[in-house]
Amino acid sequence: MNSESHALTIDNLHKSFGDLEVLNGTCMCADKGDVISILGSSGSGKSTLLRCINLLEIPQQGDVYINDELIKMKGEGSKRKAADQRQVERIRSRLSMVFQSFNLWTHMTVLENIMEGPVQVLNVQKDDAKERAMAYLEKVGLADKYACYPSQLSGGQMQRVAIARALAMEPDILLFDEPTSALDPELVNEVLQVIELLAAEGRTMLIVTHEMEFARQVSSEIIFLNEGVIEISGSPEEVFNNKSSEKFSNFFAQGRTTQ
């Protein structure tokens, strides 16, 4: 492990569910401003990797550093857990996750969803949080929907609200787990456009996606995950022109035919 500073460092992550080994010594780094797309076939461990970063899953082995701060763990194997709940909460508040299924809180309005984290976790004053929330809603193009409940929105609108909610935490790193996979095709673009905008702003992002063309355009780096290890990584040009990995060529070809 080198001593340079990174926004995110993942070192030798191992995660299995029962007998199924999902992550198998995964290592990666992200620097500030990096946009890293994570590709891989279904079941290759992409979600698990993201979820280990904010400790929604506890890796059985390996370390995660956020801004060079180690997330402290204790115990071994399946009994392993976070050593310091306060640290976990603080670090989670520096990371924001956008889920495939949006996961908006259905009992709150759009505005309340976005204000919730800043007010309850970051202790931002209500007025400031509201101003901030409206600014981010504006950015995702939904300022007029602030008083709606999630059940009144389309999938694409819900995901844009979820992105605004993630942004309102003003996180160091944004984690996207297939943000467009649950959307009807005609709604995919509105969400991708928002993410593109964020990439252009220089935000640090990890994006799990099946949208190859999108990944090629926005990413500074692409990672291809296969059976829990990073099979290829590099700039979009390098990865997409790489013919040496049969697995990736197959994956890429399949992606083409299903699009």
Partner 1 sequence: MNLQIVMEYTPEILAGVVVTMKLVVVTMVLGLLLAVPLALCRNAKSKWLSIPAYAYIYFFRGTPLLVQLFIIYYGFSQFESIRQSFLWTFLSESYWCSILAFTLNTAAYTAEILRGAIKSVPQGQIEAALSVGMSPIKLYTRIISPQAALIALPGYCNESVLMMKGTSLASTVALLEITGITRNLIAETFMPLELFFLAGVIYMIISTIMIGGFKLLEASLSRFRVEI
Ligand X SMILES: Nc1ncnc2c1ncn2[C@@H]1O[C@H](COP(=O)(O)OP(=O)(O)OP(=O)(O)O)[C@@H](O)[C@H]1O
Residues of the shown chain interacting with partner 1 in the complex, contacts defined by CB under 8 A? 54, 56, 85, 88-97, 99, 101-109, 116-117, 120-121, 149, 151-152, 162, 165, 169
Instruction: Pick what 217 binds: partner 1, ligand X, Mg ion, none; C-beta below 5 to 8 Å, kind-dependent.
Output: none
Q: Least separation, in Å, of the C-beta of 45 and partner 1? A: 17
Residue carrying the six token digits 């890796």: 59
Site mask, Mg ion, residues 43-82, x = CB under 5 A? ----x-----------------------------------
Distances (CA, A) of 97 to 51, 56, 153, 168, 171: 9, 10, 20, 12, 10
Toward partner 1, which CB reaches closer, 86 or 243? 86
Q: Which does 42 bind (CB under 5 to 8 A by kind): ligand X, Mg ion, partner 1, none?
A: ligand X
Joined together, the tokens standing for residue 166 give: 């993630």
Instruction: Give the x/- contact pattern for ligand X in 149-188, rule: CB under 6 A.
Output: -----------------------------x----------
What is the Cα–Cα distance from 111 to 132, expressed in whole angstroms?
10
| DSSP string for residues in 44-70 | SSHHHHHHHHTTSS--SEEEEEETTEE
SS3 helix, strand, coil % of the chain, rounded to 5? 40, 25, 35
22 belongs to the binding site for ligand X (CB under 6 A): yes
Beta carbons of 59 and 27 less than 8 angstroms apart: no
- Residue span binding ligand X (CB under 6 A) among the ranges 35-43, 58-66, 189-197, 232-240: 35-43
Asked if 209 interacts with Mg ion (CB under 5 A), we say no
Q: Determine which residue in the list 26, 45, 207, 223 makes contact with ligand X, applying CB under 6 A.
A: 45
Stretch that binds Mg ion, among 40-48, 128-136, 194-202, 220-228 (CB under 5 A): 40-48
Amino acid present at 173 = I
Helix (H, G, I), strand (E, B) or coil at 31: coil
Q: Does 204 bind Mg ion (CB under 5 A)?
A: no
The reply on whether position 159 binds Mg ion by CB under 5 A is no
Starting at the edge strand found earlier in the chain, the sheet holding 8-17 runs: 20-30, 8-17, 61-66, 69-70
Q: Which is nearer to partner 1, 149 or 240 (CB)?
A: 149
Determine, following the binding rule CB under 6 A, whether residue 42 of this chain makes contact with ligand X. yes
- The angle at the Cα of 91, spanning 104 to 62, to the nearest 5 degrees, equals 110
* Least gap, CB of 152 to partner 1 (angstroms): 6
* The residue count for the chain: 259
| E strands, the chain, in order | 8-17, 20-30, 35-39, 61-66, 69-70, 73-74, 81-82, 95-98, 173-177, 205-208, 221-226, 229-234
Q: Which is nearer to ligand X, 42 or 85 (CB)?
A: 42
Task: Select 143 or 182, whichever has its Cβ closest to ligand X.
Answer: 182
Q: Which residues bind Mg ion (CB under 5 A)?
A: 47
Q: Which residues bind ligand X (CB under 6 A)?
A: 17, 20, 22, 40, 42-48, 178
